[in-house]
Amino acid sequence: MNMRENDRAAWLYGPLARCRAVFATKSVPWRIVLLGPPGVGKGTQAAFLTQQLGACHLSTGDVFRAARSQRDKTPSPVMAAALEYMSHGHLVPDEIVWQMVCERVTCLRCQGGFVLDGFPRTLAQADSLRKLMEKEQLKLDAVVNYVLPPAEIVARISGRRTCDKCKAIFHVTSQPPLLQGICDHCGGRLYQREDDHPESSAVRLDAYEKSTAPLIQFYRNRGLLVTVVATGSPSEIFQRTATALQARRESGQALRPATSVAY
């Protein structure tokens, strides 16, 4: 297993930031999109995948959270517009999210590949990403769709806790910290994000079904979809994901019908 990770400075802090180094894997890099409703564990699986593949974890959520915490830096006009929407509790419009991604196009060219988490969220974003990657002469290798029953999703969301420093994620029952309320990795304070409260779950799931779920058919039609059932422990889910991706690459399914992995 490859234990090295690419630095994400450019992705998190904008086009003027520079990564310390780019680690290019000896094998062909992977370029992957992760899909799945909130609470399904995409962030945890992205961390596993980027560690395994030596790729960059490109999370749009991480970008917005990093921007909120940079009180001593002036955000780009695009990011300032995004933060304005977020400050009023509104979703950031497609066009602004897309401009934020375009500011970071060099990250899509990363020689180590990428795992894109949180984008695209709509058909319009997916089509824009397709056109950009064609322009850059890049191709997606797979789109992993994680599925889980709604009741389990709500339980996962409401029990999730996030570190206020390193953003590591824990769960009060399935993945508790060694010390209650304290991050195992950096000692930061664990807190419950506003959108992780139970009353927010139904709204988030409904928004997902309306805007993001249609992407499943979009990518299935392009022969990119790999469906993985997200039950069990994070390591079990990762093993399913890794097995499905390895089988896909070995069989050369770049343009073949979608793969479904059921466990």
Catalytic residues: 42, 121, 160, 193, 204
On whether the CB atoms of residues 146 and 41 are closer than 8 A, the answer is: yes
CA distances from 255 to 132, 240, 258 (A): 19, 22, 9
On whether the CB atoms of residues 10 and 19 are closer than 8 A, the answer is: yes
Nearest to 231 by CA among 45, 23, 34: 45
Gap between the Cα atoms of 96 and 92, Å rounded: 7
Strand partners, 180: none
Amino acid at site 109: R
**Dihedral angle computed from the Cα positions of residues 40, 126, 5 and 106, in that order, rounded to the nearest 10 degrees:** -160
DSSP 8-class letter at 35:
E
Q: Are strands 56-59 and 30-35 parallel, antiparallel or unpaired?
A: unpaired
**Dihedral angle computed from the Cα positions of residues 6, 58, 100 and 75, in that order, rounded to the nearest 10 degrees:** -60
